[in-house]
Amino acid sequence: MKTESTITHKHRLPVNDEGFYGDGRFGGSFVPSGLRGNIDELADAYYEAVADDDFMEEYRRLLRDYVGRPTPLYRAERLSRHYGTNIYLKREDLNHTGAHKINNAIAMGLLARRMGKRRVIAETGAGQHGVATATVCALLGLECTVFMGETDIERQRPNVERMRMLGAEVVGVKSGTGTLTDAVNEALAEWCRNPSETFYLIGSAVGPHPYPEMVAEFQSVISEEIKAQVPVLTGKAFPDYVIACVGGGSNAAGAFFNFIDEGAVRLVAVEAAGHGVDTYENAATMTLGSEAVLHGSRTLVIKDGEGEIAEPYSISAGLDYPGVGPLHAWLAASGRVTVLAATDDEAVAAAHRLTRLEGIIPALESSHAIAALEKMHFYPDDVVVVNLSGRGDKDLETYLSCPDIS
Ligand SMILES: *Cc1c(COP(=O)(O)O)cnc(C)c1O
């Protein structure tokens, strides 16, 4: 007999128990009835875990000793001089495995273990989330299966090899265009087939409720640290700007989380304009802004000429997603977050600029956030925080094949 859950759902974001954000336009949990029980079980386990000091202590310990947190907030001196203001980089690129994704993967791995699930499944596009998940499964002794489109397997060899070395099974998905959307569909189908023993570890702030809220919560350590670091480094209580790139929205959710209620902090989300927002080759979901249900929640997506959800395009595999998490759809629609879009060329130029000025090679995704600096105007005493979501080792080939046009 199914009884009503007695677990209190304590939300730190403006989201209701059904998973709708703000005024209720975006979010929710649109899943086949076969998955309803899994989602309810997951939600109960999640709200119970985040309220459990032992669980959170273990998570914090691993963030400190395994991931290497807190990550520095670094004053980029030469970049600051270039833009005539004060620019600080939140160094998520220095995390173990080279990006922010591990923050969330560790917490969800611990949750899987707590729920008694012996098997974790995940989907991946560029392979970054697959590597983070495979890493955590090795750490916690969990079985790991990663679904990945065949096209992406070809494009992302080194990450596929990394996952296999970590003990994960990488399953190629042939349907559709063999990219991220197809991998997500296959992971959801697998979860339906094997609900009781499987934990589906989602890597971005997307999917049916409670995933977007969970991922935001498990990335919120980023803004928690920024909030403590800014006064020490700058003497100001708050930054004037926090800038982050958005694919599905997890690093941005983490960087914005503890500032959403601080109206004086301007939050800037940067999405991938690909070849331009006036073409069909981009991933600028909030700029273009069509509504649809995608992967379990109502959100903003890009559509093609026929009104169908479009095949996205970006030079950056991590931003190449046709939707965005419902939290961001609401933050953008309500005006709390300013949305900018950077093209492939602008992102590559920004990567070369940062590398030459600071000796830091950013991930292609993060380069979009750096590129936003070109589009903004700052006062000399502004404090500008850019979330450097990951390192660029994986993108060297792309950078070196694109001329430095900066
Ligand atoms: C995956 C990835 C992103 C995009 O995902 P979000 O969920 O939007 O953060 C951004 N930066 C890096 C380095 C990534 O690996």
What mean pLDDT comes out for the span 246-275? 98
Among residues 80, 90, 92, 123, the one annotated as catalytic is 123
pLDDT, one tens digit per residue, over 152-182 is: 898 888 999 999 999 999 999 999 888 888 8
| Residue 389 known to be catalytic | yes
| 369 has pLDDT over 50 | yes
**Residue 255 Cα to chain centre, angstroms:** 10
Sign of CA dihedral 324, 330, 336, 340: positive
pLDDT of residue 267: 98
pLDDT, one tens digit per residue, over 221-242 is: 999 999 999 999 999 999 999 9
The answer, yes or no, to whether any atom of ligand 1 lies below 6 A from the CB of 245, is: yes
pLDDT of residue 352: 98
| Residue 225 known to be catalytic | no
62-76, 304-318, 377-391: range with lowest mean pLDDT? 304-318
At 6, is the pLDDT very low, low, confident or very high (cuts 50, 70, 90)?
low
Token output for 123: 């989907």
pLDDT of residue 2: 46
What is the Å distance from ligand 1's center to 55 Cα? 25
At 196, is the pLDDT very low, low, confident or very high (cuts 50, 70, 90)?
confident
At 1, is the pLDDT very low, low, confident or very high (cuts 50, 70, 90)?
very low
- For residue 363, the ligand 1 atom closest to its alpha carbon is 13
pLDDT of residue 5: 62
Cite the DSSP H helix spans in 235-264. 250-256
At 195, is the pLDDT very low, low, confident or very high (cuts 50, 70, 90)?
confident
pTM of the model: 0.96
On average, the pLDDT of the chain sits at 95
Q: What φ, ψ does residue 59 adopt, rounded to 5°?
A: -60, -50
Share of the chain above pLDDT 70, in %: 98
By DSSP bridging, strand 143-149 and strand 290-294 are: unpaired
What is the Å distance from ligand 1's center to 389 Cα? 6
| Contact (CB, 8 A) for 268 and 233 | no
| Contact (CB, 8 A) for 296 and 202 | no
pLDDT of residue 4: 56
The answer, yes or no, to whether any atom of ligand 1 lies below 6 A from the CB of 97, is: no
The answer, yes or no, to whether any atom of ligand 1 lies below 6 A from the CB of 178, is: no
What mean pLDDT comes out for the span 131-136? 98
Q: What is the DSSP string of 302-314?
A: -B-TTSSBPPP--
At 8, is the pLDDT very low, low, confident or very high (cuts 50, 70, 90)?
confident
Q: Whole-angstrom Cα distance, residue 184 to residue 393?
A: 26
pLDDT of residue 113: 98
pLDDT of residue 119: 97
pLDDT of residue 404: 65
Token output for 173: 């998905």
Among residues 117, 190, 389, 394, the one annotated as catalytic is 389
Does residue 70 have a cis peptide bond before it, meaning omega lies within 30 degrees of 0? Answer: yes
* Substitution candidate for ligand 1 out of 319, 327, 354, 388 with most atoms within 8 A of CB: 319
At 278, is the pLDDT very low, low, confident or very high (cuts 50, 70, 90)?
very high
